[in-house]
C-alpha cells in the first residue's frame, strides 16, 4: 500500500515542479504582453484623439472636391453655351455677308442696267402690233405681254440652257453678255 501512495506523491511533486517551470517561463512572456497592452492602449488613445479630426478633414475635402467638380461642370456647360452662341453669331455674320454680297451685286447690276438703258440709242419709231378688238378681250395679261415685240425672245434665246444661276461666281460675267431689252 505504500507504493501507490509513493507514486501518487511523486506524480503530484512532478506536476507541481512542471507548473513551477511553466510559470517561471511564462513570467517574461506575461511581462512582454503587459508592455504590448500598454503600447496598444497608447496607440488607441492617440487614434481616438487624432482619427476623428483626420476623418473630418477627409470628409470636408471630399465635399470640397464635389463642389469643385460641380463648378467645373457648370463652367464647361457655360463655355459650351458661349461657343454655341459664338458659332451662331458667326453663322449669322456669314449669312449677312452673303446677303450683303447679293445686295451689292443686285445694286451693281441695276446700276449697270440703268446705265445701258439710258445710254442706248432710241429707236426712231416703235411699231405697235395691235390685235383686232374681238381678239383683245380674249387674251390674258400674260399673252398680251408676250405679244409685245420688246418682250419677245428669239427662239434660240428662249430655249437656252445656260440661263441658270448655278454658279454665283459667273453671275456678274453673265450679266455683261446678256442684253436686257
CB 150 within 8 A of CB 181: yes
| pLDDT tens, the chain, 181 aa long | 678 888 899 999 999 999 999 999 999 999 999 999 999 999 999 989 988 999 999 999 999 999 999 999 999 999 999 999 999 999 999 999 998 888 888 888 888 888 888 888 776 665 556 655 555 555 566 676 766 666 655 555 555 454 444 444 444 444 444 444 4
How far, in Å, are 17, 18, 20, 22, 110 from residue 13 at the CA level?
6, 9, 10, 14, 137
100: nearest Cα among 167, 88, 92:
92
pLDDT of residue 117: 86
pTM of the model: 0.36
Rounded to the nearest 5 percent, the helix, strand and coil shares of the chain are 80, 0, 20
pLDDT tens for each residue of 29-73: 999 999 999 999 999 999 899 889 999 999 999 999 999 999 999
Q: Note whether 149 and 125 are within 8 A (CB).
A: no
Amino acid at each position: 500500500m505504500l507504493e501507490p501512495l509513493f507514486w501518487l506523491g511523486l506524480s503530484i511533486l512532478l506536476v507541481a515542479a512542471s507548473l513551477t517551470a511553466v510559470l517561471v517561463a511564462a513570467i517574461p512572456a506575461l511581462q512582454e504582453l503587459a508592455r504590448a497592452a500598454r503600447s496598444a492602449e497608447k496607440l488607441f488613445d492617440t487614434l481616438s484623439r487624432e482619427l476623428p479630426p483626420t476623418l473630418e478633414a477627409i470628409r470636408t475635402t471630399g465635399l470640397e472636391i464635389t463642389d469643385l467638380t460641380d463648378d467645373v461642370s457648370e463652367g464647361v456647360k457655360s463655355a459650351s453655351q458661349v461657343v454655341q452662341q459664338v458659332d451662331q453669331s458667326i453663322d449669322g455674320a456669314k449669312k449677312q455677308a452673303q446677303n450683303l454680297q447679293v445686295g451689292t451685286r443686285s445694286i451693281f447690276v441695276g446700276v449697270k442696267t440703268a446705265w445701258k438703258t439710258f445710254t442706248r440709242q432710241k429707236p426712231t419709231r416703235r411699231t405697235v402690233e395691235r390685235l383686232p378688238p374681238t381678239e383683245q378681250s380674249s387674251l390674258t395679261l400674260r399673252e398680251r405681254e408676250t405679244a409685245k415685240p420688246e418682250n419677245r425672245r428669239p427662239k434660240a434665246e428662249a430655249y437656252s440652257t445656260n440661263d441658270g444661276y448655278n454658279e454665283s461666281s459667273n453671275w456678274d460675267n453673265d450679266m455683261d453678255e446678256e442684253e436686257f431689252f
